Amino acid sequence: MIKKEGCGWRLIRDPSRGNFSTLIGGKNWAIELNDSEWNSFIQVVFDLNKQYLAVQDQLMGDEDITLEIEHNPWFAILKGDKNGWSLKCILSQSEPFSRGAEIFWPKNVTKSLTNAMKIILDSSYF
């Protein structure tokens, strides 16, 4: 099991838990993800981060940017400026009896969160 947490976020990855092996959380919420949801979540977050880093140096002072990406079952929205970004993700599945969720991390936690995701991704627990 790998557990990473900081002010306003937490990640726990435990493959021995079976179907819902990853927990992601914010200040007042948490959701457990299955492997498919976790893998696509990582892809969405890393793709948005990559797009943000590609334009970050081109942003002026207080200039805002909004980036959106969809990778089934996630729709994610990055809102930020030259100094950082917040992240909102919507889990939406069209299958009967599927679940949905909306999650959010503010600008002051997303850098730490993505760094922790990289550590988990690089670990043997992925």
pLDDT at 112: 96
pLDDT at 77: 98
Domain 2-122 sits in CATH 2.30.31.10: yes
pLDDT at 49: 96
pLDDT at 21: 94
Ordered by start, the domain boundaries in the chain are 2-122
Q: What is the spatial distance between Cα 59 and Cα 115, in angstroms, rounded to a whole number?
A: 22
Q: What is the spatial distance between Cα 43 and Cα 110, in angstroms, rounded to a whole number?
A: 15
If one compares 29 and 99, the residue with the highest pLDDT of the two is: 29
Model pLDDT for residues 8-63, shown as the tens digit of each residue? 999 999 989 889 999 999 999 999 999 999 999 999 999 999 999 999 999 998 89
pLDDT band at 126 (very low <50, low <70, confident <90, very high): very low
